[in-house]
Structure 1
Amino acid sequence: MGKQAGSSFLEHIRPRRIKLGALQLRATFCLGGFSFLAFIVLTITGVILLFYYQPGDKAFASLSEIDSALPYGGLIRSLHFWSGQMMVISVFLHMIRVVWSKAYRSLSEFNWITGVILLGLTVILDYSGYLLRGGQESGAASSVGQTLLKALPGGKGWAAIFFGQSSPVNGSTLDIFVWHVFILAGIAGFLQMYHFWRIRKDGGVRPL
């Protein structure tokens, strides 16, 4: 039996056929693609910042050094920050568009769940990125997050795993750094690839 069209990733990148309605702007408003573009910018700028950022007690000082000593360091930080905010907004609007157009029905129920998980990951990534800034603001945000997490069943253990030994004056820790840079970002990247592949495999987006 021959391989079905859309069953491989290469055919997803350049499919043989696509629904005519899926080519219309109002079918997606390009929100999914814009979210992925923001993720790419976050990845590139994040890799650059990795060479100079130091988590923990030196977090705030290292960011100040990036702004003042690294050529275009302030620009790179700004791109990283605003791309994160735009990704949160675009993913949220994308979810609204999916609900509005009822695109989660039929063959897309599991992909809808994947999208919900991606929305949660995006928010957590944005939150953990704020903690990595260091300083009293991130310390206060860390304290609030730990209090909320500990209120859940088994949350005390998860708070210790995720936040590490954070303090009210500094929310940046090595634990948060590892979660933000490697674990959460890696899972988000993988789920986005699966999400795009599944959309194309199910026949493209559903037009409004």
Structure 2
Amino acid sequence: MVKKEKSSFIGHIRPRQIKAGALRLRATFCLGGFSFLAFTILTITGVLLMFYYQPGDKAFATLSEIDSALPYGGFIRSLHFWAGQLMVISVFLHMVRVVWTRSYRPISELNWIVGVVLFVSTVILDYSGYLLRGGQESGAAASVGQTLLRTLPGGQALAIVFFGQPSPLNGSTINVFVWHIFILSGIAGFLQMFHFWRVRKNGGVRPL
């Protein structure tokens, strides 16, 4: 029965038994939970904003309309923004805790790599979200990102694939929109599920 439970997804998400030390707040500081909560809020508010947001030249105008004309639009957009900042901070602190407790050691080295990829995805998601705001600031941020990406081998092609053709006055493009809404969000969502599954499969967290 125990073996069957361990082999099932539900058994990993809601196991019958876990280590007593893993229940203490100091074991994780709930940083992984905060990260997932932030991602859930981002997903819900992002879907709501997607009904009205238009990438490209109309990006800044549509965001202004969301803030001023759409009922609770400003609240939803603010919630989306602050949830993004919470996720970046909580994922970073979560990785600091993992390094501090040396939880990256075998048998958790695969999950550590997944966590690193998740952190990079989170940072890029936050950056691409800033580009989607439109306006001169996002245009300048897109220019900096393009310059940095072009320093890499094959960076010119990568810059075109990710950024498209942003202008100095507007960093919002359909390319950035697709990456932010579908590709990066999908990758982050899948990796989080895999990450949680591996934590359970490896025996849970290591208390401090």
- Scaled by the length of structure 2, the TM-score of the pair is 0.98
Distance 2:16 2:49 in 1: 40
Alignment match, 2:198: 198
Distance 2:49 2:100 in 1: 38
* 1:103-182 superposed matches below 5 A: 103-182=103-182
Distance 1:80 1:8 in 2: 33
Alignment match, 1:27: 27
Alignment match, 1:7: 7
Shift of 1:16: 1.7
What percentage of aligned pairs have identical amino acids? 77
Shift of 1:106: 2.1
Shift of 1:4: 4.6
Distance 1:118 1:169 in 2: 30
Distance 1:31 1:206 in 2: 14
Q: What stretches of structure 2 of length at least 5 have no aligned partner? A: none
Distance 1:7 1:191 in 2: 19
Shift of 1:6: 2.5
SS at match of 1:147: helix
Deviating beyond 2 angstroms after TM superposition, the runs of 4 or more aligned structure 1 residues are 1-7
Shift of 1:178: 0.2
Distance 1:102 1:5 in 2: 28
* 1:76-95 superposed matches below 5 A: 76-95=76-95
Shift of 1:105: 1.0
Listed one character per residue, the Cα deviations across residues 166-208 of structure 1 (whole Å, up to 9, x for unaligned) are 1111000000000000000000000000000100111100111
- AA in 2 matched with 1:112: W
Distance 2:154 2:115 in 1: 26
RMSD: 1.2
Alignment match, 1:185: 185
- AA in 1 matched with 2:177: F
Q: What stretches of structure 1 of length at least 5 have no aligned partner? A: none
Listed one character per residue, the Cα deviations across residues 108-163 of structure 1 (whole Å, up to 9, x for unaligned) are 00000000000000000000000000000000000000000001111110000000
Greater CA drift, 129-138 or 103-112: 103-112
- AA in 1 matched with 2:103: A
SS at match of 2:58: helix
Distance 2:50 2:90 in 1: 25
Distance 1:204 1:6 in 2: 12
Shift of 1:14: 1.2
- Scaled by the length of structure 1, the TM-score of the pair is 0.98
Listed one character per residue, the Cα deviations across residues 83-115 of structure 1 (whole Å, up to 9, x for unaligned) are 000100000000000000111112100000000
Distance 1:178 1:162 in 2: 9
Count matched residues: 208
Alignment match, 2:46: 46
Distance 2:2 2:82 in 1: 46
